[in-house]
């Protein structure tokens, strides 16, 4: 008899985005002609930068030549890509990160889940509320929590609420937590973290020997020069943080798949046994990746490398400006329509307060049925997201403009 991982049975019915798709699908069964505009999942809509496409085409040609053909690549990623990341994304910002500490992967979603493989089961885990659901669900799957209550909060997790009342900055825990998930620019609220705030977390983590999982998938959207792009801009972070980055949202790789994780060699975790010996987390992650992962395709890595060419940089900047202009339109239109809106300045997500008396899912249904616009209910990101709603700036200008007109007409106060 094959038994199952029973922890999966604790999970709420569906992952948030498939659940939204399910509801949209049901709606379309009876409204097949509804002109839907999807501002829900943060999926890019604009074409891949030309520099990336050209590099991928050239890489395909390499595959046609016996001498340039590539079979299995290094599990950690090709050094020519890792070196460019280290130089451009880290060393240029004064971060002491070496190419050997970078692990190329096919996504930050996978990495933020897979990273749990190298940590023990007895850690106390802190997440913000609301939060990117992958952090929570992967801990549930790994058996790190008890069951969920009616609000969807899992026993055993430490939830740190982020709401308008605390400017979407979690208060540092008063108790000891071992693993801390931080995401800046924040998904879903669009908030950013100042240097001082990140320093407070690094100081906490060093004092408690905790590890910060720092998800910086949206760092390219930071417009304020005072806001750090990487946790490694903060002194001490090399000894307490793992950073996750992605080419998905800056260079449009959501379908192409390329990302990376940074595990500094100085980072240590402890054996759970009495005596607590320090073990290199870089070493464990390298061991995990080389056992369970065969690397990202040569063609895709060549495409990602092209992001760091002058043309690639200019084209990526163009994409970022495009989506941020969408975010500005969303913010302005919704503010004029009387909504309280947050985020969307240094992030591609606008977070709004739902109208009085409407829950997040009520507002989702209302928006879908009346305006034919799809967004993401805040409560899907956690109990403290109830009464909030996320609008993604990832869409064409035409669709964003049209969606804002429809919402304004329906909801103008
Ligand atoms: C989101 O909409 O929150 C993101 O697209 C999810 C993801 O990147 O996996």
Mapping DSSP to helix (H, G, I), strand (E, B) and coil, where does residue 241 land?
strand
Residue with tokens 């990302």: 259
**Nearest-10 crossing angle of helices 310-336, 50-62:** 140
pLDDT for res 413: 62
Whether the Cβ atoms of residue 216 and residue 233 lie closer than 8 Å to each other: no
Domains and CATH numbers, the chain: 13-46+316-411 (3.90.1150.10), 52-310 (3.40.640.10)
Structure tokens at 413: 């106060």
Ligand 1 centroid distance, CA of 71 (Å):
31
β-bridge pairing 179-183 and 211-215: parallel
DSSP H helical ranges for 293-367: 298-305, 310-336, 360-366
DSSP for 11-73? S-SS-HHHHHHHHHHHHHHH-TT---EE-SS----SPPPHHHHHHHHHHHHHTTSTTT---S-
pLDDT for res 354: 97
Residues 6+ apart with CB under 8 A from 88: 308
**Range 386-405 burial, b when 16+ CB lie within 10 A, else e:** bbbbbbbbbbeeebbbbbbe
Ligand 1 centroid distance, CA of 42 (Å):
5
Ligand 1 centroid distance, CA of 287 (Å):
27
pTM of the model: 0.96
Question: Can you list the residues of the chain whose pLDDT is less than 50?
Answer: none
Residues 6+ apart with CB under 8 A from 413: 337, 338
pLDDT for res 87: 98
The verdict on the CB of residue 331 being under 6 Å from ligand 1 is no
pLDDT for res 274: 87
Query: Cβ of 356: how many Cβ atoms within 10 Å?
Result: 6
pLDDT for res 12: 81
Ligand 1 centroid distance, CA of 278 (Å):
34
Ligand 1 binding pocket mutation candidate from 19, 21, 187 (most atoms within 8 A of CB) = 187
pLDDT in tens, 102-137: 999 999 999 999 999 999 999 999 999 999 999 999
Distance (Å, whole) CA 345 – CA 192:
9
pLDDT for res 13: 66
The verdict on the CB of residue 41 being under 6 Å from ligand 1 is yes
């Amino acid at each position: 008899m094959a038994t199952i991982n029973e922890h999966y049975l604790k999970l709420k019915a569906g992952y948030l985005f498939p659940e939204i798709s399910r509801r949209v699908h049901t709606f379309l069964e009876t409204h097949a002609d509804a002109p839907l505009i999807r501002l829900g999942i943060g999926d890019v809509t604009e074409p891949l930068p030309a520099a990336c496409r050209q590099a991928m085409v050239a890489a395909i040609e390499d595959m046609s030549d016996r001498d340039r053909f590539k079979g299995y690549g290094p599990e950690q990623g090709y050094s020519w890509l890792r070196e460019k990341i280290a130089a451009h994304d880290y060393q240029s910002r004064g971060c002491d990160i070496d190419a050997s500490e970078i692990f190329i992967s096919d996504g930050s979603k996978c990495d933020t889940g897979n990273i749990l493989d190298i940590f023990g089961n007895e850690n106390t885990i802190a997440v913000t509320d609301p939060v990117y659901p992958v952090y929570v669900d992967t801990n549930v799957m790994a058996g790190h929590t008890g069951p969920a209550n009616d609000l969807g909060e899992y026993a055993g997790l430490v939830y740190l609420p982020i709401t308008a009342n605390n400017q979407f900055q979690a208060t540092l825990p008063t108790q000891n937590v071992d693993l801390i998930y931080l995401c800046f620019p924040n998904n879903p609220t669009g908030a950013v973290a100042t240097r001082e705030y990140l320093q407070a977390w690094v100081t906490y983590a060093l004092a408690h020997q905790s590890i910060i999982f720092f998800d910086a998938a949206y760092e390219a959207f930071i417009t304020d020069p005072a806001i750090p792009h990487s946790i490694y801009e903060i002194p001490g972070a090399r000894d307490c943080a793992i950073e996750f980055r992605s080419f998905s949202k800056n260079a449009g790789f959501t379908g192409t798949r390329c990302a990376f994780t940074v595990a500094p060699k100085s980072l240590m975790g402890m054996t759970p046994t009495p005596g607590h010996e320090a073990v290199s987390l870089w070493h464990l992650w390298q061991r995990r990746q080389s056992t369970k992962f065969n690397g990202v395709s040569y063609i895709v890595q060549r495409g990602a490398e092209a992001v760091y060419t002058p043309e690639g940089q200019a084209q990526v900047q163009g994409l970022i400006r495009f989506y941020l202009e969408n975010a500005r339109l969303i913010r302005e239109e919704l503010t004029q329509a009387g909504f309280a809106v947050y985020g969307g300045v240094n992030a591609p997500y606008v977070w709004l307060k739902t109208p009085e008396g409407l829950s997040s899912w009520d507002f989702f249904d209302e928006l879908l049925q009346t305006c034919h616009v799809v967004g993401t209910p805040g409560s899907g990101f956690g109990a403290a997201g109830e009464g909030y709603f996320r609008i993604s700036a990832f869409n064409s200008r035409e669709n964003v403009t049209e969606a804002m007109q429809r919402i304004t007409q329906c909801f103008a106060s």
